[in-house]
Structure 1
Amino acid sequence: MAKIIPFKGLRPTQDKVSLVSCRSYEDYNAVEIAYLLDYNPFSFLHVLNPAYVNPQKVTSDKRFKMVAAKLNDFKKEGILITEDKPVLYLYQIKTKFWQFTGIVAGTTIDDYKNNVIKKHEDTLDYRVRMFKEYLQYGRFNTEPVLMMYPDQEQISKWVESYKEQEALYDFSTVTKERHTIWKIDQPEDIDWLSEQFDQINEFYIADGHHRCASAELLQQENLEYHNSVMSFLIGENNIKIYEYNRIIHDLNNHTKDEFLNLLAEKFLIENKEQQLWKPTKKMEFGMYLDGDFYALRLKETKSNGDILQQLDAQILYDEVLNPILGLDDLRNDARIDYVPGNESIVAIKELVDDGEYEVGFMLYPTNIEEIKRIADNDLIMPPKSTYIEPKFMNGLLIYEI
């Protein structure tokens, strides 16, 4: 059974929450980061990117220690405060098109090891080790693992009722998102939620495979590490799944014509020219190459075999990326990069047109049932198979270890 754990969250004071919280560091370009660091002394980016001289010469362990030191500065200055007792949180994110609501709690590494918390994606070794060092030296995490569970009517009703209480935070961002958090601090509410989640057989990781893997690795190396990670638990029908598109630096020494001829052995190819085309169903692929968009339709559909072989990301690897483009290790090969599906395919066009990449591929999104079937059968999707929302704000709730 799945276990949830209340925790003593570290969080901004109410008057500074909109100033402190920020998107993930990778979501900002260099100009945005420089502006926020110069003009917002409360931004959590100061913690994530502490100022130092000659950053190229700073080792990762020293940098992560400086991150921890900057977090302590925020605590000493009263920008961040710690709950006086372990609590849970109810968190709602409203965007222009979607509304996401879930419970923020601790989940156990033991549940992850014992496959109560199920994974579906492969991880990148260097990122697992980087996050492990970050946890080891930084001693905190501010991006929870997004986990989904089968929708529960009783929990859904309780959540809607709890929203009638006064919120701890309620603010909007410059990206026109509204973030609302309620603190769940009464023992009877915590006990009731714990009992409800106790009846759920498993959680499925939607986003945060690297965070779970790095926490497990750190615990293996240091048994004194806390047996829990911060998680955002959300009903499976309340998430949004996008594809992860692929861009490749070269054609593996093939000419354009050679490459198209090799593709034609497995796919029906339609040149869409300048039409911004993307797949409309499974086993269709979009491609951008040398100024034109193409529709690729698999000649022989994968109706047999295991669920993994029927995944579009796996089909693209088996039929194109590996045999034609010579990509063996998608976890570590520097020749391939990924673009999340919530970005316009114009971004792929621009990256290829700029000359840094030779070809881009657009995929059709995976659905929830495919994810669950993969996880239930102890299979692993190719890396970067899904891009899933919601995304959590950094510096909003912090889980110290």
Structure 2
Amino acid sequence: MAEIRPIKGWRYRAALEHDINELTSPLFDVVSEKQRQALYQHPFNSIHLSVPAGPNPADQAAALLNEWKKNEVLQQDELPAIYVYYQYFTLPGSHQEYCRKGFMCHMRAYDWSEKVLLRHENTLPGSVNDRLELLEKTRLQTSPTHGLYTDPHFSLEKYLDESMQSPIYETEDYQGARDVLAVIHDLNVIREFVRVLGAKQVLLADGHHRYESSLAYRQKMTALNPNHTGQEAYNYHFIYLTNTESDDLKILPTHRVLTEILLSDEDFLAQLQQYFTIMPVADAFCLNEVIAGKQWAFGLYLGGKAFKIKLKPEIFGEMDWNMPAVVKELDLTVLHYFVFERIIGIRRNSQRSFPGLQYNRNFAQCLTLVDSGQARAAFITNEVTMNQVKKVCYSGAVMPPKSTFFYPKVITGFLFSSIEQHEFQSEIDSCFQLAPSERIIG
């Protein structure tokens, strides 16, 4: 199953570590333009490598990376390690603190057909191409994708907790989460990580575009290398792994906003009534509460009025999309089929890129967009559950676009992973390889 190996990580030199707050940045696909412009003002911020500016961003990032290495802005750790990454956070409306526990390592970049790493959404080719060009020019992975493995015995958590007694970094990020990094060098412990993951499939939670770029790079380099062995640096991907069984693994909903509807509010409601029962809600700010935990139920904010809409059970059988039942039964599939395709007329294959259909995680902002006239309607949704994510991944199908938002997002700047061959390999790599008798079977 999943082959992992430790990383000889690149990190900011010790003299800069006290400024780690000023060096981290959001992931490339969530950083706002305003955040970017502010972060660009710091000459050493990680944004210069992860989301480079300028007319030739990949070339600029490669040149800057070489300069940073030469001037020892970044330095490579001497020994391969498992890097432990904890994120402490609270959810909106709650004071309870959660701690998502995970670790960063290299994992072999598997083709989807190998069914070792499983996805739950499709990617946009443009975003993959941008990430691929950056990877080709820098051969540096600036931030890990987020993968999930299932271990009901929590057999690795004791090692994670122990390492956190001596953290390397600690900072509060743009989300308000407290991020803490620690390291494991113990050979026997690392071998235990390799052994446990060697019996697991991995589900891709976040970072589909970054993983696709690694996969494309591996395929390209394999074709160019007549002496390919499978052990080259380009075969591996930088990943952050967390346990699906943890109660601190949180998925937040992503709501849907329609900026254009070719119907009056009255006609739109009449069309909805064919498929949904509609109940007025006095206070729009209660929409997320009145639908909580209810299957096929959504909050609708339209023309300053709030409604709870719920699919009529007898209507569900009319869905004719060809997909497994585990995907058909998702709330978001119901919404995308009966509302966006049947009523609005946006065909399934066009929904991801349709400009009038937007995705927004901020509940209050969805209402504001309608009130301000920037949108016609907002659909408030429930979150997808971890169990649903598992079932869809194992089915081989994908969810509707923007179905999951694993919270919090990892940050960029704590650790960088090189796939330059001389920086990737270590003299002690063979020590981490397991004999057949050491592997977990089944």
CA positional deviation for 1:268 = 1.0
The equivalent of 1:292 in structure 2 is 305
1:80-95 correspondence to structure 2 within 5 Å: 80-95=74-89
Given the superposition, is the C-alpha separation of residues 115 and 46 from structure 1 closer, same or farther in structure 2, using an over 3 Å criterion? same
Counterpart residue number, 2:338: 319
Distance 1:106 1:49, change over 3 A: closer
Letter in 1 for 2:206: D
* 8 Å Cα contact 2:86/2:101 also seen in 1: yes
Confirm or deny: 8 A CA contact 2:148 2:203 kept in the other structure: yes
Q: Taking structure 1 as reference, are residues 113 and 143 closer, same or farther at Cα in structure 2, changes over 3 Å only?
A: farther
CA distance in 1: counterparts of 2:112 and 2:182, whole angstroms: 27
Query: Residues of 2 paired with 1:177 and 1:89: CA distance?
Result: 18
Aligned to 2:359: 338
Aligned with residue 15 of structure 1, among 6, 13, 18: 18
For each residue in 1:40-86, what CA deviation from the matched residue of structure 2 results, as whole angstroms up to 9, or x when unmatched?
3332233345454xxxxx3xxx2221122223333333222112232
Q: Relative to 1, partners in 2 of residues 1:104 and 1:112: Cα closer, same or farther, differing over 3 Å?
A: farther
TM-superposed deviation, 1:318: 1.2
1:19-30 aligned at under 5 Å gives the runs 19-25=22-28, 27-30=30-33
Question: How much has 1:235 moved relative to structure 2?
Answer: 0.7
| Number of residue-to-residue matches in the alignment | 386
Matched, 1:34 2:37: yes
Taking the TM superposition and a 5 Å limit, the aligned residue runs for 1:300-311 are 300=313, 306-311=325-330
Q: Determine whether 1:232 maps to 2:240.
A: yes
In structure 2, the residue matched to 1:385 is 403
Please name the residue that 2:437 is paired with.
none
Alignment-mate amino acid for residue 45 of structure 1: I
Q: Aligned equivalents of 1:221 and 1:227: distance in 2?
A: 11
Corresponding letter in the other structure for 1:311: L
Q: Deviations over 1:222-257 (max 9, x none)?
A: 326711211111011241011221112211x22222
Give how far 1:88 is off.
1.5
CA contact (8 A) 1:109 1:228 kept: yes
Aligned to 2:198: 198
Is the 2:25–2:39 contact (alpha carbons within 8 Å) kept by the matching residues of 1? no
Say whether the 8 Å CA contact 2:9–2:80 is kept in structure 1. yes
Matches within 5 A, 1:161-310: 161-164=162-165, 166-173=166-173, 176-200=176-200, 202-223=201-222, 226-236=234-244, 237=246, 238-251=248-261, 253-276=262-285, 277-278=287-288, 279-280=291-292, 281-300=294-313, 306-310=325-329
User: How far did residue 28 of structure 1 move?
Assistant: 4.8
Amino acid at match of 1:207: D
Give the superposition deviation at 1:288.
1.7
| 1:400 has 2:411 as partner | no
1:192 is paired with a residue of what secondary structure?
A: helix
Distance in 1 between the 2:260 and 2:271 partners? Answer: 15
Structure 1 residues 176 and 128: alpha-carbon distance in aligned structure 2, compared to 1, 3 A threshold: closer
* Counterpart residue identity of residue 244, structure 1: T
Code of the residue aligned with 1:330 in structure 2: it is: Q
SS at match of 2:370: helix
Distance 1:131-1:41 versus aligned 2 partners, 3 A rule: closer
Change (3 A) 1:356 1:219: farther
What is the root-mean-square deviation of aligned Cα atoms in Å?
2.3
What secondary structure, in the 3-state scheme, does the structure 2 residue paired with 1:221 have? helix
SS in 2 for 1:73: helix
* Cα 1:109–1:362 shift into 2, 3 Å: same
Letter in 2 for 1:86: P
Q: Which amino acid aligns with 1:258?
A: D
**Alpha carbons of 1:110 and 1:286: their partners in 2 closer, same or farther (altered >3 Å)?**
same
Partners of 1:74 and 1:95 lie apart in 2 by: 32
- TM-score of the superposed pair, with normalisation by structure 1: 0.88
The corresponding residue for 1:55 is: none
Partners of 2:89 and 2:408 within 8 A in 1? no
**Taking every aligned residue pair, what percent have the same amino acid on both sides?**
24
Greater shift in the superposed pair: 315-324 or 95-104 = 95-104
How far apart in 2 are the matches of 1:131 and 1:387? Answer: 20
1:210 to partner: Cα distance: 2.0
Q: Give, as a single letter, the amino acid of the residue that structure 2 aligns with 1:214.
A: S
Give yes or no for the alignment of 1:123 onto 2:123.
yes
